[in-house]
Chain A
Amino acid sequence: MSVVTIEGVTKTFDGGTTALEGIELAIEEREFVSLIGPSGCGKSTLLRIIGDLIRPTAGTVRVNGKPAAQARADRDYGIVFQDAVLYDWRTIARNISLPLELARWNRRRRGERVQEMLRLVELSGFESHYPWQLSGGMQQRVSIARALSFDPALLLMDEPFGALDEMTRERLNLELLRIWEASGSTIVFVTHSITEAVFLSTRVVVMSPRPGRISDVIEIDLPQPRTAATREEPRFFELVTRVREALHLGSDHDRDLTAPRTAEAPS
């Protein structure tokens, strides 16, 4: 059974802008799927529709075989945003346990799980720190720990490393893969970065803007587990090129394809 099934999803905002049109996508268990595309292609909107934070204008979304709204009510997914969105008045431990408090876990179970999650994201010893005492990368790890604390089958990530520097981002990419292995979850990952998408994913979904459509789906057949060395393999570069070309084709979609292609990079 697919973890996420998206059928004929269209989203038109109140102003009349069509953010998404005719989206069809199925995501299987244990997959790592990246949504990539230029600004305005609706990738973050699509992620929010999967999470039932935005309602589609047409079409259906099922998560774990249930309608998206039911899946949200059942807390079937965890979400990570570009900002860590930690609450300043809560310690790291209490930030991680927030979803557990809402799910009415008792104190002892919460405490145990928080320790477990801190170990998973390698932040043991920081439980009584406050968010502002941590670096951006550490805050984002706390946010991942919080999203995974209640063991959701699905992890939605909206450009989680977009605000971090390149070195921190590469380190967190490796760490995310390790967490993905350890937690056994399915991940839907929105990103602007081609290399990040190729390095992390089992599948890259390329989207094009105005209206947001899926223009290509690329299988990433790099061997698992991936390491820092994966980034230097010839196959990695081939796939990066493949995604890059798909993005350019996508952004040229509504232009004259016979005209010389500009070197405009999809940032």
Chain B
Amino acid sequence: MSIAPVAVQPIPRGTLAGRVGKRALDWVPALVVLVLVLVVWQESIAVFHIKKFLAPQPTAIASTFWTNRHELISAGWFTFQEALGGFAIGCGLALVVALVLARWRGVGRALMPYMIAANAIPIIAFAPIMNAWFDPFSKFSKMAIAAVLCFFPVLVNTLRGLTSVRPQSIELMQSYAAGEIETFRRVRIPTALPFIFTSLKIATVLAMIGAIVGEYFGGAFTALGVLIDSRSTTFQFKEAWAGIAVACAYGIAFYLAVALLERLTLRGMPSTGD
């Protein structure tokens, strides 16, 4: 007899999020892979005589990073702020819209086609338009792009979560004469939380990508995307790679922060409690 609602099952057990907070030993296989990849990369460039400016060796990237660490980290921080702002706006709006759509299904039927159409907008084409609408040197133009990217996955997942409550759970609340708000608060939202966190984790990475893509179409000189773009167009690939590594580091840290928040919020839930 399946007691857990089907909806709660899909929280992935084996993903990175599931491993956050587990024993250090669990990380050993992943670390071994990382070291192997770096060694093979490092050595094959020397062995196959690949031009170093095209694919710099990891050690060269690392030393470039170290020399430029202050500039890179502060550029990353600038871009991260844009990503974080976009994440907050996009996810916040998506959560509110999902609540409205879950409560008033008719609104959903009227709006959903346009939400799907909005999701089909190629973000690359959208970025220069946002730069034109808002000041390209302000953080806000990049936040807008990141927000658009975050919006849809969070909306769809949250809506799915809010509406995948078993009918008997709702009947139970009705038998207690619980109102609409109580039912949302005590049943629908808790049921949706695993779905919401899954989409928020996706959105962290999308927000970083959105901010950097936006910066490719013009932005402050202190931004990471502008830095990577200018270095790669001037064939300074070591610097570009170091910038990419910093972008990844911020993205991963953002993801892990949300995964940690998920763990704290959902402790006791079947899939995260083990």
Residues of A within 8 A of B (CB): 48, 51, 53, 72-75, 77-79, 81, 83-89, 91, 98-99, 101-103, 130-132, 136, 139, 163-164
Say yes or no: is B172 at the interface (Cβ < 8 Å to chain A).
yes
> Chain B residues near A51 (CB, 8 Å)?
175
CB distance from A54 to the nearest CB of B (A): 9
Say yes or no: is B245 at the interface (Cβ < 8 Å to chain A).
no
CB distance from A47 to the nearest CB of B (A): 11
Say yes or no: is B193 at the interface (Cβ < 8 Å to chain A).
yes
User: Nearest 4 CB-CB pairs, A to B?
Assistant: A163-B1, A132-B270, A79-B175, A89-B190
Say yes or no: is B269 at the interface (Cβ < 8 Å to chain A).
yes
CB distance from A250 to the nearest CB of B (A): 27
**Nearest chain B residue, comparing its CB with the CB of A128:** B268
Residues of B within 8 A of A (CB): 1, 3-5, 8, 166, 168-169, 171-172, 174-178, 182, 186-187, 190, 193, 266, 268-270, 273
Is there contact, CB below 8 Å, between B273 and A72?
Answer: no
Q: How far is the CA of A73 from the CA of B177 in the complex (A)?
A: 5
Is there contact, CB below 8 Å, between B172 and A81?
Answer: yes
Is there contact, CB below 8 Å, between A89 and B268?
Answer: yes
Is there contact, CB below 8 Å, between A78 and B4?
Answer: no
CB contact under 8 A between A136 and B169, given known A79-B175, A98-B186, A130-B270 = no
Contact of B169 among A72, A75, A87, A131 (CB under 8 A): A87
**19 CB < 8 A contacts A-B:** A74-B177, A75-B176, A75-B177, A77-B175, A79-B175, A83-B3, A83-B168, A85-B166, A85-B168, A85-B169, A85-B172, A87-B187, A88-B269, A89-B268, A98-B176, A98-B186, A102-B177, A136-B1, A139-B3
> Chain B residues near A99 (CB, 8 Å)?
176
CB distance from B260 to the nearest CB of A (A): 18
Is there contact, CB below 8 Å, between A83 and B1?
Answer: yes
Q: How far is the CA of A195 from the CA of B161 in the complex (A)?
A: 41
Most buried by A among B5, B175, B178, B269: B175
Q: How far is the CA of A125 from the CA of B193 in the complex (A)?
A: 28
**Nearest chain B residue, comparing its CB with the CB of A54:** B171
Is there contact, CB below 8 Å, between B193 and A132?
Answer: no
Q: How far is the CA of A91 from the CA of B175 in the complex (A)?
A: 21
Contact of B168 among A78, A81, A102 (CB under 8 A): A81
CB distance from B169 to the nearest CB of A (A): 6
Contact of B270 among A73, A75, A88, A139 (CB under 8 A): A88
Is there contact, CB below 8 Å, between B5 and A88?
Answer: yes
> Chain B residues near A86 (CB, 8 Å)?
3
Q: How far is the CA of A86 from the CA of B186 in the complex (A)?
A: 12
- In addition to A83-B1, A102-B186, 6 A-B residue pairs with Cβ atoms within 8 Å of each other are A72-B177, A78-B175, A79-B175, A89-B269, A130-B273, A139-B3
CB distance from A266 to the nearest CB of B (A): 23
> Chain A residues near B193 (CB, 8 Å)?
89
**Nearest chain A residue, comparing its CB with the CB of B172:** A85
CB distance from A147 to the nearest CB of B (A): 9
Q: How far is the CA of A72 from the CA of B3 in the complex (A)?
A: 26
Q: How far is the CA of A107 from the CA of B264 in the complex (A)?
A: 24
> Chain A residues near B4 (CB, 8 Å)?
88, 131-132
Q: How far is the CA of A31 from the CA of B271 in the complex (A)?
A: 42
> Chain A residues near B182 (CB, 8 Å)?
102
